[in-house]
A and B are shown apart, each in its own frame.
Chain A
Protein backbone atom coordinates (compact mmCIF):
# COMPACT_ATOMS: atom_id res chain seq x y z
CA UNK A 1 0.00 0.00 0.00
CA UNK A 2 2.71 2.38 -1.06
CA UNK A 3 0.28 5.13 -2.06
CA UNK A 4 -1.23 5.17 1.46
CA UNK A 5 2.25 5.50 2.91
CA UNK A 6 3.14 8.20 0.40
CA UNK A 7 -0.02 10.26 0.93
CA UNK A 8 0.14 9.58 4.68
CA UNK A 9 3.64 11.05 4.87
CA UNK A 10 2.49 14.15 2.97
CA UNK A 11 -0.61 14.55 5.15
CA UNK A 12 1.49 14.12 8.29
CA UNK A 13 3.71 17.00 7.22
CA UNK A 14 0.70 19.16 6.40
CA UNK A 15 -1.11 18.50 9.71
CA UNK A 16 2.08 18.33 11.73
CA UNK A 17 1.23 14.89 13.10
CA UNK A 18 3.12 11.57 13.10
CA UNK A 19 3.10 9.70 9.73
CA UNK A 20 1.61 6.61 11.42
CA UNK A 21 -1.37 8.67 12.60
CA UNK A 22 -1.88 10.17 9.12
CA UNK A 23 -1.74 6.71 7.53
CA UNK A 24 -4.22 5.54 10.16
CA UNK A 25 -6.54 8.38 9.20
CA UNK A 26 -6.41 7.42 5.52
CA UNK A 27 -7.06 3.77 6.37
CA UNK A 28 -10.02 4.75 8.55
CA UNK A 29 -11.40 6.71 5.58
CA UNK A 30 -11.04 3.62 3.37
CA UNK A 31 -12.76 1.49 6.01
CA UNK A 32 -15.59 4.03 6.31
CA UNK A 33 -16.24 3.79 2.58
CA UNK A 34 -15.59 0.13 1.78
CA UNK A 35 -15.91 -1.66 5.12
CA UNK A 36 -13.20 -3.67 6.89
CA UNK A 37 -12.88 -6.45 4.31
CA UNK A 38 -11.82 -4.48 1.24
CA UNK A 39 -8.41 -5.61 -0.02
CA UNK A 40 -6.31 -2.44 -0.12
CA UNK A 41 -4.39 -3.31 -3.29
CA UNK A 42 -7.68 -3.51 -5.19
CA UNK A 43 -8.30 0.20 -4.70
CA UNK A 44 -7.90 2.26 -7.85
CA UNK A 45 -7.36 5.96 -8.52
CA UNK A 46 -11.07 6.82 -8.37
CA UNK A 47 -11.53 4.91 -5.09
CA UNK A 48 -8.72 6.88 -3.43
CA UNK A 49 -10.05 10.13 -4.81
CA UNK A 50 -13.54 9.50 -3.46
CA UNK A 51 -12.20 8.40 -0.07
CA UNK A 52 -10.23 11.64 0.23
CA UNK A 53 -13.12 13.82 -0.98
CA UNK A 54 -15.69 12.32 1.38
CA UNK A 55 -14.49 10.07 4.20
CA UNK A 56 -11.14 11.71 4.94
CA UNK A 57 -12.84 15.09 4.79
CA UNK A 58 -15.49 13.91 7.28
CA UNK A 59 -12.79 12.64 9.62
CA UNK A 60 -10.94 15.96 9.44
CA UNK A 61 -14.18 17.74 10.26
CA UNK A 62 -14.66 15.47 13.29
CA UNK A 63 -11.14 16.41 14.38
CA UNK A 64 -12.01 20.11 13.93
CA UNK A 65 -9.01 20.74 11.75
CA UNK A 66 -8.93 24.18 10.15
CA UNK A 67 -8.63 24.82 6.40
CA UNK A 68 -10.12 21.46 5.48
CA UNK A 69 -11.10 22.43 1.92
CA UNK A 70 -7.54 23.51 1.13
CA UNK A 71 -6.08 20.34 2.70
CA UNK A 72 -8.43 18.08 0.70
CA UNK A 73 -7.70 19.92 -2.54
CA UNK A 74 -3.96 19.67 -1.89
CA UNK A 75 -4.28 15.95 -1.06
CA UNK A 76 -6.25 15.29 -4.27
CA UNK A 77 -3.59 17.16 -6.26
CA UNK A 78 -0.90 15.01 -4.62
CA UNK A 79 -2.86 11.88 -5.57
CA UNK A 80 -3.28 13.05 -9.17
CA UNK A 81 0.41 13.95 -9.38
CA UNK A 82 1.59 10.61 -7.94
CA UNK A 83 -1.13 8.30 -9.26
CA UNK A 84 1.39 5.98 -10.94
CA UNK A 85 2.46 4.68 -7.51
CA UNK A 86 -0.94 2.94 -7.26
CA UNK A 87 0.02 0.76 -10.24
CA UNK A 88 3.80 0.58 -10.00
CA UNK A 89 3.67 -0.01 -6.27
CA UNK A 90 1.03 -2.73 -6.32
CA UNK A 91 1.62 -5.00 -9.33
Chain B
Protein backbone atom coordinates (compact mmCIF):
# COMPACT_ATOMS: atom_id res chain seq x y z
CA UNK B 1 0.00 0.00 0.00
CA UNK B 2 2.77 2.45 1.00
CA UNK B 3 4.68 1.57 -2.15
CA UNK B 4 1.51 2.14 -4.18
CA UNK B 5 1.16 5.74 -2.90
CA UNK B 6 4.78 6.52 -3.79
CA UNK B 7 4.33 4.89 -7.21
CA UNK B 8 1.25 7.00 -7.97
CA UNK B 9 3.24 10.16 -7.15
CA UNK B 10 6.09 8.91 -9.33
CA UNK B 11 3.64 8.43 -12.21
CA UNK B 12 2.42 12.04 -11.79
CA UNK B 13 6.05 13.24 -11.68
CA UNK B 14 6.93 11.12 -14.73
CA UNK B 15 3.85 12.15 -16.75
CA UNK B 16 4.07 15.87 -15.99
CA UNK B 17 7.78 16.06 -16.87
CA UNK B 18 7.28 14.12 -20.09
CA UNK B 19 4.36 16.31 -21.17
CA UNK B 20 6.37 19.46 -20.34
CA UNK B 21 9.27 18.08 -22.37
CA UNK B 22 7.09 17.38 -25.45
CA UNK B 23 5.49 20.83 -25.20
CA UNK B 24 8.90 22.52 -24.94
CA UNK B 25 10.22 20.61 -27.97
CA UNK B 26 7.30 21.92 -30.03
CA UNK B 27 7.66 25.48 -28.73
CA UNK B 28 11.45 25.50 -29.17
CA UNK B 29 11.05 24.54 -32.82
CA UNK B 30 8.26 27.08 -33.30
CA UNK B 31 9.78 30.13 -31.63
CA UNK B 32 13.44 29.20 -32.15
CA UNK B 33 14.57 30.23 -28.65
CA UNK B 34 17.71 28.14 -28.27
CA UNK B 35 17.95 28.73 -24.52
CA UNK B 36 14.93 26.42 -24.19
CA UNK B 37 16.97 23.42 -25.37
CA UNK B 38 18.68 22.77 -22.00
CA UNK B 39 15.33 23.10 -20.21
CA UNK B 40 13.76 20.66 -22.68
CA UNK B 41 16.64 18.24 -22.06
CA UNK B 42 16.20 18.63 -18.31
CA UNK B 43 12.55 17.55 -18.61
CA UNK B 44 13.66 14.76 -20.97
CA UNK B 45 16.41 13.32 -18.76
CA UNK B 46 14.30 13.05 -15.61
CA UNK B 47 11.62 10.74 -17.05
CA UNK B 48 14.32 8.89 -19.02
CA UNK B 49 16.10 8.23 -15.73
CA UNK B 50 12.99 6.49 -14.38
CA UNK B 51 12.52 4.47 -17.58
CA UNK B 52 16.15 3.32 -17.48
CA UNK B 53 15.94 2.37 -13.80
CA UNK B 54 12.83 0.30 -14.55
CA UNK B 55 14.28 -1.30 -17.68
CA UNK B 56 17.96 -1.82 -16.94
CA UNK B 57 18.17 -1.02 -13.23
CA UNK B 58 20.52 1.94 -13.64
CA UNK B 59 20.53 5.47 -15.00
CA UNK B 60 24.16 6.19 -14.39
CA UNK B 61 24.96 8.32 -17.43
CA UNK B 62 21.62 10.14 -17.77
CA UNK B 63 21.71 11.07 -14.11
CA UNK B 64 24.76 13.22 -14.79
CA UNK B 65 23.10 15.68 -17.13
CA UNK B 66 19.73 16.91 -15.84
CA UNK B 67 20.94 19.36 -13.16
CA UNK B 68 23.67 20.64 -15.48
CA UNK B 69 20.98 21.42 -18.08
CA UNK B 70 19.01 23.39 -15.48
CA UNK B 71 22.04 25.57 -14.67
CA UNK B 72 22.69 26.21 -18.39
CA UNK B 73 19.03 27.19 -18.89
CA UNK B 74 19.19 29.64 -15.96
CA UNK B 75 22.34 31.25 -17.35
CA UNK B 76 21.02 31.70 -20.89
CA UNK B 77 17.58 32.88 -19.84
CA UNK B 78 18.47 35.33 -17.09
CA UNK B 79 22.19 36.14 -17.31
CA UNK B 80 23.33 36.64 -20.89
CA UNK B 81 26.02 39.34 -20.86
CA UNK B 82 25.59 39.66 -17.10
CA UNK B 83 27.80 38.72 -14.19
CA UNK B 84 26.65 35.52 -12.54
CA UNK B 85 27.97 32.55 -10.55
CA UNK B 86 27.37 30.36 -13.64
CA UNK B 87 30.92 29.05 -14.16
CA UNK B 88 31.40 28.29 -10.46
CA UNK B 89 28.09 26.43 -10.30
CA UNK B 90 28.70 24.58 -13.56
CA UNK B 91 32.24 23.45 -12.69
CA UNK B 92 31.19 22.44 -9.15
CA UNK B 93 28.24 20.50 -10.54
CA UNK B 94 30.39 18.69 -13.11
CA UNK B 95 32.88 17.72 -10.38
CA UNK B 96 30.04 16.50 -8.13
CA UNK B 97 28.48 14.51 -10.97
CA UNK B 98 31.80 12.88 -11.92
CA UNK B 99 32.36 11.82 -8.28
CA UNK B 100 28.79 10.51 -8.22
CA UNK B 101 29.41 8.56 -11.43
CA UNK B 102 32.65 7.00 -10.19
CA UNK B 103 31.17 6.16 -6.78
CA UNK B 104 28.15 4.47 -8.33
CA UNK B 105 30.30 2.34 -10.61
CA UNK B 106 31.77 0.69 -7.51
CA UNK B 107 28.72 0.71 -5.23
CA UNK B 108 25.26 1.15 -6.85
CA UNK B 109 23.83 3.47 -4.19
CA UNK B 110 20.30 4.76 -4.51
CA UNK B 111 17.70 6.54 -2.37
CA UNK B 112 16.18 4.48 -0.82
CA UNK B 113 18.88 1.84 -0.78
CA UNK B 114 18.04 -1.40 -2.51
CA UNK B 115 20.59 -3.51 -0.63
CA UNK B 116 21.94 -3.80 2.91
CA UNK B 117 25.05 -1.71 3.52
CA UNK B 118 28.12 -3.41 4.87
CA UNK B 119 29.93 -1.38 7.61
CA UNK B 120 32.82 -0.31 5.31
CA UNK B 121 30.27 1.02 2.80
CA UNK B 122 28.60 3.38 5.29
CA UNK B 123 31.06 6.32 4.90
CA UNK B 124 30.76 6.03 1.12
CA UNK B 125 27.01 6.15 1.42
CA UNK B 126 27.27 9.43 3.33
CA UNK B 127 29.53 10.77 0.59
CA UNK B 128 26.83 9.74 -1.87
CA UNK B 129 24.19 11.58 0.19
CA UNK B 130 26.33 14.73 0.28
CA UNK B 131 26.82 14.51 -3.49
CA UNK B 132 23.10 13.96 -4.13
CA UNK B 133 22.28 16.89 -1.91
CA UNK B 134 24.87 19.13 -3.59
CA UNK B 135 23.47 18.25 -7.03
CA UNK B 136 20.20 19.78 -5.92
CA UNK B 137 21.67 22.74 -4.07
CA UNK B 138 23.92 23.75 -6.99
CA UNK B 139 21.09 23.86 -9.53
CA UNK B 140 17.50 24.36 -8.34
CA UNK B 141 18.00 27.24 -5.84
CA UNK B 142 19.72 29.43 -8.44
CA UNK B 143 16.76 29.17 -10.81
CA UNK B 144 14.31 29.59 -7.92
CA UNK B 145 15.99 32.67 -6.49
CA UNK B 146 16.47 34.48 -9.81
CA UNK B 147 12.90 33.73 -10.91
CA UNK B 148 11.58 35.26 -7.68
CA UNK B 149 14.03 38.16 -7.86
CA UNK B 150 12.82 39.08 -11.35
CA UNK B 151 9.23 38.49 -10.31
CA UNK B 152 9.67 41.11 -7.58
CA UNK B 153 11.21 43.53 -10.09
CA UNK B 154 8.25 43.24 -12.53
CA UNK B 155 5.58 42.86 -9.84
CA UNK B 156 4.52 46.50 -10.03
CA UNK B 157 5.22 46.88 -13.75
CA UNK B 158 2.66 46.65 -16.55
CA UNK B 159 3.34 42.98 -17.36
CA UNK B 160 0.53 40.49 -17.97
CA UNK B 161 -0.35 38.76 -14.67
CA UNK B 162 -0.09 35.24 -16.13
CA UNK B 163 3.58 35.91 -16.90
CA UNK B 164 4.14 37.08 -13.33
CA UNK B 165 2.49 33.86 -12.14
CA UNK B 166 4.83 31.85 -14.36
CA UNK B 167 7.84 33.47 -12.63
CA UNK B 168 6.36 32.65 -9.23
CA UNK B 169 5.51 29.05 -10.07
CA UNK B 170 9.02 28.39 -11.39
CA UNK B 171 10.60 30.24 -8.45
CA UNK B 172 8.72 28.66 -5.56
CA UNK B 173 8.70 25.15 -7.02
CA UNK B 174 12.47 25.26 -7.53
CA UNK B 175 13.02 26.43 -3.97
CA UNK B 176 10.86 23.58 -2.62
CA UNK B 177 13.48 21.20 -4.03
CA UNK B 178 16.03 22.56 -1.51
CA UNK B 179 14.14 20.64 1.19
CA UNK B 180 14.99 17.38 -0.59
CA UNK B 181 18.68 18.18 -0.22
CA UNK B 182 18.24 17.94 3.55
CA UNK B 183 15.72 15.09 3.57
CA UNK B 184 18.20 12.68 1.96
CA UNK B 185 20.15 12.66 5.23
CA UNK B 186 17.09 11.55 7.20
CA UNK B 187 16.88 8.22 5.41
CA UNK B 188 17.80 5.39 7.77
CA UNK B 189 20.83 3.53 6.47
CA UNK B 190 19.72 0.18 7.87
CA UNK B 191 16.60 -0.07 5.76
CA UNK B 192 16.14 -0.54 2.04
CA UNK B 193 12.52 -0.05 1.16
CA UNK B 194 9.60 2.31 1.70
CA UNK B 195 7.62 -0.34 3.54
CA UNK B 196 8.39 0.82 7.09
CA UNK B 197 6.71 3.92 8.45
CA UNK B 198 9.75 6.16 9.05
CA UNK B 199 11.46 5.69 5.65
CA UNK B 200 8.04 5.89 4.05
CA UNK B 201 7.37 9.31 5.58
CA UNK B 202 10.78 10.62 4.46
CA UNK B 203 10.36 9.07 1.01
CA UNK B 204 6.84 10.40 0.69
CA UNK B 205 8.00 13.90 1.59
CA UNK B 206 10.79 13.78 -1.02
CA UNK B 207 8.39 12.45 -3.65
CA UNK B 208 5.73 15.06 -2.83
CA UNK B 209 8.31 17.86 -3.21
CA UNK B 210 9.48 16.47 -6.54
CA UNK B 211 5.89 16.07 -7.73
CA UNK B 212 5.05 19.65 -6.69
CA UNK B 213 8.04 20.86 -8.72
CA UNK B 214 6.97 18.84 -11.75
CA UNK B 215 3.29 19.80 -11.66
CA UNK B 216 4.08 23.49 -10.98
CA UNK B 217 6.40 23.52 -13.99
CA UNK B 218 3.81 21.74 -16.10
CA UNK B 219 1.30 24.49 -15.23
CA UNK B 220 3.90 27.25 -15.61
CA UNK B 221 5.08 26.22 -19.05
CA UNK B 222 1.87 24.80 -20.50
CA UNK B 223 -0.50 27.28 -18.95
CA UNK B 224 -3.96 26.73 -20.49
CA UNK B 225 -5.64 29.72 -22.11
CA UNK B 226 -8.54 29.69 -19.61
CA UNK B 227 -6.06 30.03 -16.75
CA UNK B 228 -4.24 32.86 -18.52
CA UNK B 229 -7.61 34.58 -19.06
CA UNK B 230 -8.52 34.07 -15.40
CA UNK B 231 -5.19 35.47 -14.15
CA UNK B 232 -5.54 38.40 -16.56
CA UNK B 233 -9.15 39.10 -15.55
CA UNK B 234 -8.39 42.50 -14.02
CA UNK B 235 -5.69 43.39 -16.50
CA UNK B 236 -6.27 46.07 -19.12
CA UNK B 237 -4.28 45.00 -22.14
CA UNK B 238 -2.73 47.45 -24.56
CA UNK B 239 -4.17 47.65 -28.05
CA UNK B 240 -1.89 49.57 -30.39
CA UNK B 241 -3.43 51.62 -33.17
CA UNK B 242 -2.53 50.42 -36.63
CA UNK B 243 -0.35 53.40 -37.57
CA UNK B 244 1.88 53.69 -40.62
CA UNK B 245 5.61 54.34 -40.36
CA UNK B 246 5.14 58.02 -41.21
CA UNK B 247 2.34 58.41 -38.66
CA UNK B 248 4.46 56.86 -35.87
CA UNK B 249 7.45 59.07 -36.67
CA UNK B 250 5.28 62.20 -36.90
CA UNK B 251 3.58 61.34 -33.63
CA UNK B 252 6.94 61.04 -31.85
CA UNK B 253 8.15 64.30 -33.44
CA UNK B 254 5.02 66.08 -32.20
CA UNK B 255 5.31 64.65 -28.70
CA UNK B 256 9.04 65.33 -28.31
CA UNK B 257 8.74 68.88 -29.59
CA UNK B 258 6.04 69.80 -27.07
Contacts and interface: CB of A to CB of B under 8 A. Distances in A.
A complexed with B: yes
Interface of A: 2, 5-6, 9, 15-25, 28, 31, 39, 41-42, 44-45, 59, 62-63, 65, 80-91
A46 to B, nearest CB: 8
Most chain B Cβ neighbours within 10 Å, of A24, A44, A45, A84: A84
Q: Give the size category of B's interface with A.
A: 35 or more
5 contacts: A28-B249, A44-B33, A82-B150, A82-B154, A84-B77
A42 B167 CA distance: 21
A73 to B, nearest CB: 13
B248 A21 contact: yes
Interface of B: 24, 27, 31-36, 77-78, 80-82, 146-147, 150, 153-154, 157-160, 163, 166-167, 170, 221, 238, 240-241, 243, 245, 248-249, 251-253, 255-256
Do most interface residues of chain A lie in helix, strand or loop, or is the interface mixed?
A: helix
Nearest to A66: B256
A17 B167 CA distance: 30
B80 A45 contact: yes
A31 B248 CA distance: 13
Contacts of A45: 80
A83 B84 CA distance: 14
A44 B147 CA distance: 19
A91 to B, nearest CB: 5
A50 to B, nearest CB: 13
